[in-house]
Amino acid sequence: MQVNQSSVEAVEQAKKKQEEAEKQARQAEYQIEREKNRADMEIQRARRKAKSEIADMKENQFFWDWGYLCVIFFSFLQNGAFQQDVLQLIMIPINWCKEYIAWFERLEYISDTAGEMLFKGFFSMLMITAGILGCVFLVWAGVEQYKKIWDDLYKMVLISSISFVAVLGNLIREYLPLNLILVILFINIGTILLRAYLKKKYPQMYD
């Protein structure tokens, strides 16, 4: 009887321990699930907050960018030197076209034979087409290379150079007889070359 009673007590104790272990396991699972749900809620809250902040930053950036562009635009309107330079760049290819048309109309009179006239006309058109395609290719290649290195620094330099020319264009023209658009290009190209030189000489600065 004592042996049977001890066996029953041992079984009951083992059963209680098993139930306690199962209870602790369920509690642990519940705790893990609750922590997981809380973590998911925190992640979602953080994402919503980050999304809201990004939207606010984009809205503010959009506002300031357009405001800055308006300031530059009105600066250009009162900048007579820059307007003349833009008009000059526009008129250069137009004047070239007028001169070519005038030359082409006189081609019949300055050529000795019809074959010479056809050759000069065809060769000139071929050279003009090759020059236009070459310029387009060079501009496209330059833009593609610039896009690879484009960052906030180059953006700041571009905006600053345009603002500099927009505000002080008339004063610059008094001391520098150079097209103001070329001044903008020189500033940006100089920045690229200077940064490339510094990156080559001090590579640890860009690691």
Q: What is the pLDDT of residue 133?
A: 92
Q: Once rounded to an integer, what is the mean pLDDT over residues 11-33?
A: 75
Give per-residue pLDDT as tens, 47-79. 887 777 777 777 666 666 666 667 667 667 666
85: tokens are: 């330079």
Give the pLDDT confidence of 104-127 residue by residue, as tens digits: 888 777 766 777 778 888 888 898
Q: Could you tell me the pTM of the whole model?
A: 0.53
Average pLDDT of the chain to the nearest whole number? 77
The Cα 22–Cα 6 span in angstroms is 24
Q: Which residues fall within 8 angstroms of residue 121, CB to CB, at 6 or more apart? A: 104, 107
Q: What percent of the chain has pLDDT above 70?
A: 80
- State the alpha helices, DSSP H only, in the chain: 2-77, 80-105, 107-110, 114-149, 152-175, 180-201
Q: Is 83 exposed, middle or buried (0-12, 13-18, 19+ CB in 10 A)?
A: middle
pLDDT of residue 183: 83
pLDDT number for residue 3: 47
Residue 26 and residue 33: Cα distance in Å, rounded?
10
Between these two residues, 150 and 2, which has the higher pLDDT value? Answer: 150
List pLDDT tens digits, range 168-197: 777 777 777 777 888 888 888 888 888 888
